[in-house]
């Protein structure tokens, strides 16, 4: 802690306090959901949304305290955001009874599915609106579902490339971030098309407001990292690599002391495996360090 500045300590203390507050509020919401909602299917889907603030703040605070794990925790939080969007789509179907029941209500009311959604496709004036059929809803649900799947695949590739390069200052990561952003926008577009139509009959639940809140949080979480990485690649802000994050000298000294205490008895003065272990496990081999 001596290596951390006073400003950083105060910021970490404030972040810890806010994290604790959000965790308490999330647990309170979980209690309300578990006690006030009797339908088990609706309750299980709402658990995902109610746990979203808790998961996000824990990932954010842990990534601030442990910079080496920040990238992985960012990916976990983003995938959770995308899963929440997909869960909201299914929750909308559940509140209507089923997808078939929702489509029948929309057809009886004369609603249509418009693909001219601002700001993604407001220029598609030549396309007519779609009928709210089950098949059309499933097609747009696929657009929503591909977003977390693509993100998980890209993060696996990012980890693999990072292990090979030992650095994130490479154009591949910008391409990967751009592809992830495109996938996220496609998923957002699919949700923007079908959620307002289905939520038009759910005003008493304020479902559209809930969707807007989750969607805005997901968008902000994604864009802020993309902007930060872009500024880093053009050297507007410094990029701190994982390899440059050093442990404090006291922690290094403690690790060295523990290593000497627990490992040294198994080696002789020349740095070779002691004869007892070598004769016991490898009687014909001599391992030099």
**CA pair distance 180, 273, nearest whole angstrom:** 49
User: Where residue 261 falls among pLDDT bands split at 50, 70, 90?
Assistant: low
202-218 pLDDT, tens digit each = 888 899 999 999 988 88
Residue 278 shares a structural domain with residue 174:
no
Residue 253: what pLDDT?
52
Assigned domain for 130 exists:
yes
DSSP letter for each residue of 168-217 = S-SHHHHHHHHHHHHHHHHHHHHHHHHHHHHHTT-GGGTHHHHHHHHHHH
Is 247 a member of any domain?
no
Q: Helices 171-199 and 70-95 meet at what angle, rounded to 10?
A: 20
What tokens appear for 224 in the block?
Answer: 């802020």
176, 78: one domain:
yes
Name the average pLDDT for the chain.
78
Ranges of H-type helices in 37-133:
40-50, 52-65, 70-95, 99-109
The mean pLDDT value for 161-170 works out to 76
Burial of 167 (0-12, 13-18, 19+ CB in 10 A): middle
Q: What sign has the CA pseudo-torsion 144, 150, 152, 155?
A: negative
Is residue 244 one of the residues assigned to a domain? Answer: no
Q: Are residues 16 and 136 in the same domain?
A: yes
What are the φ/ψ torsions at residue 164 (nearest 5 degrees)?
Answer: -80, -40
Contact criterion met (CB below 8 Å) for 140 and 188: no
Answer yes or no: is 143 within a domain. yes
**47 lies in the same domain as 134:** yes
Q: Does residue 233 fall inside a structural domain? A: yes
Which residues make Cβ contacts (< 8 Å) with residue 65, sequence separation at least 6? 12
Domain shared by 139 and 22, yes or no: yes
Residue 71: phi and psi, rounded to 5, are: -65, -45
Considering the entire predicted model, what is its pTM?
A: 0.73
Specify whether 58 is located in the same domain as 142: yes
* Residues 252-275, mean pLDDT to the nearest whole number: 49
Structural domain of 269: 257-289
In-domain check, residue 270: yes
Q: Check whether residue 63 and residue 154 sit in a common domain.
A: yes
| The pLDDT value given to residue 236 | 64
Residue 214 is predicted with a pLDDT of 92
Using the predicted structure, report yes or no on whether residue 287 has a pLDDT greater than 50.
Answer: no
Tell me if 79 sits within 8 A of 152, measured CB to CB: yes
Peptide bond between residue 99 and the one before it cis (omega within 30 degrees of 0): no
Q: Do residues 211 and 270 both lie within one domain?
A: no
Same domain, 158 and 288: no
Q: Are 226 and 177 in contact (CB under 8 A)?
A: yes
Identify the CA nearest to 199 among candidates 91, 42, 47, 51: 91
Q: Are residues 149 and 271 in the same domain?
A: no
Does residue 252 lie in a domain region? no
Instruction: At 130, give phi and psi (nearest 5°).
Output: -95, 155
Is residue 250, in this structure, part of any structural domain at all? Answer: no
CA–CA separation, 266 and 184 (whole Å):
53
Distance (Å, whole) CA 3 – CA 21: 27
Residues 264 and 153 in one domain: no
For 71-80, write each residue's pLDDT tens digit: 888 888 989 9
Considering the domain architecture, whether residues 273 and 232 belong to the same structural domain is answered as no
Q: By three-state DSSP, how is residue 239 classified? A: coil
Q: How many domains are there within the chain? A: 2
- pLDDT at position 289 is 38
Q: Which of 16-30, 119-133, 230-244, 260-274 has the highest mean pLDDT?
A: 16-30
Q: What are the pLDDT digits (tens) for 110-153?
A: 888 888 777 666 666 677 788 888 898 999 999 999 988 998 89
pLDDT tens, residue by residue, 228-242: 777 777 766 555 554
């Amino acid at each position: 802690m001596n290596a951390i500045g006073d400003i950083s300590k105060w910021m970490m203390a404030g972040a810890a306090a806010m994290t604790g507050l959000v965790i308490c509020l999330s647990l309170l919401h979980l209690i309300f959901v578990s006690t006030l909602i009797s339908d088990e299917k609706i309750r299980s889907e709402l658990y995902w949304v109610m746990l979203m603030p808790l998961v996000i703040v824990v990932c954010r605070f842990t990534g601030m305290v442990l910079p080496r794990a920040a990238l992985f925790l960012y990916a976990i939080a983003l995938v959770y955001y995308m899963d929440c969007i997909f869960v909201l789509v299914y929750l909308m179907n559940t509140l209507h009874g089923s997808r078939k029941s929702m489509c029948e209500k929309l057809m009886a009311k004369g609603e249509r599915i418009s693909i001219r959604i601002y700001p993604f496709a407001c220029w598609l004036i030549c396309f007519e609106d779609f009928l709210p059929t089950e098949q059309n809803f499933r097609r747009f649900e696929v657009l929503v579902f591909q977003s977390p799947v693509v993100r998980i695949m890209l993060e696996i590739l990012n980890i693999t490339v990072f292990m090979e390069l030992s650095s994130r200052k490479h154009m591949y990561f910008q391409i990967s971030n751009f592809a992830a952003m495109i996938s996220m926008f496609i998923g957002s577009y699919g949700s923007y098309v079908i959620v307002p139509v289905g939520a038009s009959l759910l005003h008493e639940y304020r479902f559209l407001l809930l969707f807007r809140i989750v969607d805005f949080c997901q968008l902000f979480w994604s864009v802020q990292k993309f902007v930060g990485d872009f500024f880093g690649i053009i050297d507007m802000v410094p990029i701190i690599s994982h390899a440059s994050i050093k442990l404090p000298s006291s922690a290094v000294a403690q690790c060295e002391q523990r290593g000497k205490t627990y490992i040294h008895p198994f080696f002789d003065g020349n740095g070779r495996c002691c004869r007892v272990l070598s004769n016991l496990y490898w009687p014909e081999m001599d391992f030099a360090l």
